[in-house]
Amino acid sequence: MTPHFRAIAFCLIACFFVFQSQPLKGQQAPEPEPQSVFRLDAMTSEKLDNGLTISFIQNVDFEHNALALHWDYISGVAQERAGLCSAHMRCLLQNLKNQITVYPTLEWEALEVSAKGNLISLLPATEDLPEIMDWLANGITSFELNATTWSIVQVEMKAELVERGAFSTIEPMDQLMRHRLFSVQHPYGEIPNESSVSNIQLEDIRTFHHRYFLPNNCKIALCMNADNPEARQNVETAFGKWKARSVPVSSVMRPRVGRNTELAWITSDDKESLTFQMGHVMRLKPGNENEWILKALATIIRNRLQSIMKAGARIEVDFESDASMGRFIIRGSQLSENFMQICIQEALNLLQQMTEELPSDDELAQAIEQLINEYGIHLMNPVYVAEMAADGNSSDHLKSENEMRNSFNQVSVIDVRRVANNLLRPNSLQIVGTGPQELGKALGNAIDSDNAMDEYTLAGKLIEPYSPAPGLTSNYIFDSYYAACGGKSAFEDLKSSRTVVRMDAEGGTVFTVTTEKQYGIGFSSSFEANGQVMMENVVTMEEGFKRQMDINQIMSAREYQRLKPDLYAARFLHLDELRGVTEVLGTVETNGTIQHVVRIHFEGNVVETLFFDQTSSLLIKSIVERSGAAGQNKTINDFDEYKTYDGLTFPSRITQTTNGRLVELITEEMRLNVRINSDTFNRN
């Protein structure tokens, strides 16, 4: 498509323009269509030879001009240097601020330059446009960053983290919510800290700029309130020599949605102005076929919640998306302590209701009128329009009132319920709130799947609920455990075992699992259903594989690392071989018993937390958390009914809960030091 036809297509789709044709002779003139409050006198979009996309938007009703520049990249690309994208944008702004002194007619404060995410906006005066474009082009294309500038920015970033737990460009609660939705290993869930900012080097910032800040990865939108024929030439002259290069293709994985509702809490002394967020990730991208239905659904939810709010309280509801994924989010603010729990509970009930019941026609009509009016107000703001046009993922939202009505005319109450039922997950929400600790505990007991809250600092650091235990070591705890179960040497001398375990779930037996082990060599687990072996897992010191219908299949590295510890009868005595590092967290009192708590950090972002009864020294519970790009996988094992077999004691019942799914493992038979055919562990 040529630039000319792209411009025409863009105008037809995105602009607020009403065309009234002349009636044919003898034909009655149609009633004039209502004019939108937003008039677009001219809008064009074109792409320069170097790949830079430029949009020009003119509207005489704009109060002032606005300019926005947008680059496509994924924030959060370096975990050990979390904050790199923010550091780069700050350095770029500082660089621009330093260079503006070369242009006597320009004033930094008058331009009102701001940045959020990967977007810069400012307010350019028409008469200064040639100098502004030249200044921006020089600052962006040359990017002469020195150590002094980075040192100043680095100090500012660290000070913000110390003061408020997050950079000034993001609210701490927004940061924690992203972390809970996406996990720390996901680019969207990273939480910067002083250490990660210290890890960022000057060359990292230069490399980032060189990699992503390219003309073929940039969109510029200029909103003007008067005709300026030279504006296009100003931009082309300033940015036309910017050299294009290949841009790395970035992609992120959408995390899985959990099966539980979980509460995170930031304790504060405030009792009158509390806030909360709740939401979940979802499969949603810009231009989704249900986009206008989702807008109506969000507005209906907001209206219902707002109707029960006290004066001053605010509710926002939205389905947010970018090029990679989406999320559903509710934000509540200005809530009193007494009303906070009521509001959250009502929100949970309402979301469930929306998946089951039809809204009324009047509700839908009211929501549509609200959306049209709100968009009309937004689209009179030139900064908003420029940012929407520069962000290619949002430019389709620039519609006229008539175009919006046409879109909403296709939406019915049946559509709203259908989409709510398909996309909302009212029983799988992440909730983050702030307020007094006792309120958080009460909410956790009422709505969290574990009947507890996870408490965080303002900086997004989890506050562990453990009491210090000076002098307590992991070796002492492990030695006591094995002593209570028959002795370390007895476990280390154990040669082999054969066990039969029944795997029960949802009221029935799923598999009977027979496992044969030669400790330190290998083991094989056969999964049998209805008298037939469905699959075998084979693990040795060197490899792991699956055997199904006598065909060997690859076992993932992740699964192999999960199963490998079972090669040892006393795995806590072989953490060096398993590359596990221990720390004693302290003690915790649960159900009237005191437990010693040890945490083991393994390679591959795997963390296991162990709970040993202080009196019996037996292992009571373990929590295994695996973090990756797809989110966090959490498995809770409850160990019960310890039994002794040939002098060694093992739990005979393990209740395993993984992401809300419960399985019981019941030992039906265990024999020790039996003869095992080592050929079992060989590939066929």
- For residue 398, is pLDDT > 90? no
The whole-number pLDDT of residue 404 equals 82
What pLDDT band is residue 63 in, cutting at 50, 70 and 90? very high
Q: How confident is the model at residue 254 (pLDDT cuts 50, 70, 90)?
A: confident
The CATH number of the structural domain formed by 474-681 is 2.50.20.10
Which residues share a beta bridge with 613? Answer: 595
Cross-strand partners of 601: 581, 607
pLDDT above 80 for 323: no
Q: What is the pLDDT of residues 540-564, one digit of tens each?
A: 999 999 988 878 898 998 899 999 9
Span 487-528, pLDDT tens digits: 999 999 999 999 999 999 988 999 999 999 999 999 999 999
Q: Of 651 and 683, which is predicted with more confidence?
A: 651
112 CB neighbour count, 10 Å cutoff:
13
Q: What is the pLDDT of residues 603-635, one digit of tens each?
A: 888 999 999 999 999 999 999 988 765 567 789
pLDDT digits (tens, 9 = 90+) for 119-164: 999 999 999 999 999 999 999 998 988 999 999 999 999 999 999 8
Give 460-528 as a 3 state SS string: CCECCCCECCCCCCHHHHHHHHHHHCCCHHHHHHCCEEEEEEEEEECCEEEEEEEEEEECCCEEEEEEE
Neighbours of 116 (CB within 10 A): 11
Neighbouring-strand partners of residue 580: 602
Query: In the chain, where does the domain assigned CATH 3.30.830.10 lie?
Result: 48-171+183-239, 262-377+392-456
Q: Which two tokens stand for residue 36?
A: 């939108």
pLDDT > 60? residue 370:
yes
H/E element, 646: none
CATH superfamily of 48-171+183-239: Metalloenzyme, LuxS/M16 peptidase-like (3.30.830.10)
pLDDT score recorded for residue 7: 35
Q: Predicted confidence band at 680 (pLDDT cuts at 50, 70, 90)? A: confident
Q: Tokens 């020195």 label which residue?
A: 146
* Per-residue confidence (pLDDT) for residue 269, from 0 to 100: 87
257-275 confidence digits (pLDDT tens): 777 899 999 998 888 889 9
Give the right CATH number for 262-377+392-456 from 3.30.830.10, 1.10.3720.10, 3.40.50.10860, 3.30.379.10.
Answer: 3.30.830.10
Burial of 506 (0-12, 13-18, 19+ CB in 10 A): exposed
pLDDT tens figures, 625-663: 887 655 677 899 999 999 999 999 999 999 998 877 899
Which amino acid, 386?
Answer: A
